Amino acid sequence: MKHVLIIDFGGQYSHLIARRIRELEVYGEFVSHTIDTGNLLEYVRESYGVILSGGPASVWEGKHDDIIKLIIKEDKPILGICYGHQLLARALGGIVQRSHKPEFGPTTVFLKVRDRIFKGIPNSFIVWMSHNDAVIEPPPGAEVLAYSHGSPVAAMRYGIHYGIQWHPEVAHTSYGMKLLSNWLDIIGAPRVWKLDIVVDKIIEDIRGVIGDSIAVAAISGGIDSTTATLIAYKSIGSRLKPVIIDHGLHPQGEPVRSIKLLESIGLKPILVDASDMFIEALKGITDPEEKRRIFGKLYAEVLEEEALKLGAEYLVQGTIYPDIIESGGRPGASIIKTHHNVAGLPRNIRLKIVEPLKWFYKDEVRRIARKLGVPEEIIKRQPIPGPALAVRIEGEVTREKIDIVRRADAIVREEIENSGIQERLWQYFAILLNSKATGVKGDNRAYGYVVVVRAVISVDAMTASIARLQWDLLERIASRITSEIPQVTRVLYDITSKPPATIEWE
């Protein structure tokens, strides 16, 4: 698929660039700077243009000199952002040094030249800066387009290449989307990433791939698997067999609630009870990555066995773009955590994998789901990790711990939903720690488990900020958990954003 290529140099806003490009109806492909040369060149050659992201490195280190030289050699339009701007300028012969006035946060930029990239943008405007270094002198032959008090070359043009010191992708930058839109016009990128058209094409492609064969769909009742299943159902109709695996690690009320919702939209899932198998397989396992791999392997085995009973050749999954990135599935990506439906699958699985949503971010999946008529209850349902409560139990998974965290999680959900703030939150749940703490219950010393409450705000799960819950709400949650679950003596609230943490505990 032809795209705008975003090369990530470790910047905290890099994923926002891809999302902004997609919002402008052009497909944005995201790869790490650690990608091997062969794959990099393939991505560059298939692109309309390349965006170099920000990052924590300094161009003085020379870490990415080879990458930028390769890209320039391919003669594709480049837009350098922040560190990417400095990298491009230095590679073309400009001078990058420590700025006499490092800029962080809101900064005024002044235009020197009314270039096409600034069409519809005023002569001075507020942008978001985050840099110590700056381009002090432009490359020979480059034109300085804008400056700020700490960046004499805040924007430049060198032939078909542009560089800007600020971050157009963040909401704090005025006219950021306008600038990106202008750049897309300049490079001639057609606005064809329209979700309804793309989904119609995916439906047609799946019909062509699966043909007259039977497929099973791994479905949990969450938005990703439900949407993927509906797309496949529109492709092949009754030859799609939705399967829900009861692994014994679902939150309270599941999977019964999911089955009822799925039946309301015409899907008739087959329920497979494999709870004893999963809990036995996880016995004695404490490493979170090992838990995910074991879960993924067993999940695939159970699905494969059911598929063979049904005569299926294909497996439809709700894998989305962040799953692939976090599991190291894109060339050059590092493994943050293994998703059971990506890296957790055994290589020798006999089913052919179909992933209708693998190019989409979560917010895009929600828009697709609405177009397909998925009930709002499913669309607004908070994400549940594939291994479910197994990764919300620190250390070994036991039946006692599953019961404790399930009950604690139900209390967290009930109190937050009763307070009416659930639609402002991305996720809210309970975690059971492996450690214990001393408490007092009924005038007697108690030594029990510690529960952590976590609630975050996010758009696409790539980054998340903490939810600042009211103290009275937190107090009610803590009081109920310690009162209604005898084994728990202490409740904590996690105030760590992503990054540095992940949303889930493990």
And the tokens for 121?
């943008």
Q: d(Cα 415, Cα 420) in Å, to the nearest integer?
A: 9
Q: d(Cα 381, Cα 92) in Å, to the nearest integer?
A: 49
- The catalytic residue among 131, 167, 339, 340 is 167
- Assign 3-class secondary structure to 328-358: CCCCCCCECCCCCCCCCCCCCCCCEEECCCC
| Secondary-structure percent of the chain, ordered helix, strand, coil, rounded to 5 | 40, 25, 35
> Angle at Cα 454 formed by Cα 470 and Cα 357, nearest 5°?
120
Q: With the CA atoms of 145, 149, 151 and 152 taken in that order, what torsion angle do they form, in degrees rounded to the nearest 10?
A: 50
Residue partners of 70: CB distance under 8 A and separation at least 6: 37, 40, 41, 44
Which ranges of 116-218 would DSSP assign to H, the alpha helix?
A: 176-187, 195-210
Whether omega for the bond prior to residue 138 falls within 30 degrees of 0, making it cis, is: no
Is-catalytic flag, 326?
no
DSSP bridge partners of 314 = 215, 352
Is-catalytic flag, 15?
no
Contact 472, 444 (CB under 8 A): no
3-state secondary structure (DSSP) of residue 57: coil
- The catalytic residue among 29, 103, 169, 355 is 169
Q: d(Cα 124, Cα 150) in Å, to the nearest integer?
A: 15
- The catalytic residue among 3, 33, 82, 504 is 82
Q: d(Cα 94, Cα 116) in Å, to the nearest integer?
A: 22
Q: d(Cα 320, Cα 228) in Å, to the nearest integer?
A: 10
Is-catalytic flag, 289?
no
3-state secondary structure (DSSP) of residue 449: strand
DSSP bridge partners of 78 = 50
Beta strands in 124-202 (DSSP E): 124-137, 143-148, 151-158, 161-164
Burial group, residue 390, by CB count within 10 angstroms (0-12, 13-18, 19+): buried
Q: d(Cα 70, Cα 64) in Å, to the nearest integer?
A: 10
Which amino acid would we find at residue 89?
A
Nearest Cα to Cα of residue 251 among 216, 222, 271:
222
The DSSP letter of residue 421 is -
Instruction: Give the β-pairing of 161-164 and 151-158.
Output: antiparallel
Residues assigned a catalytic role: 82, 167, 169
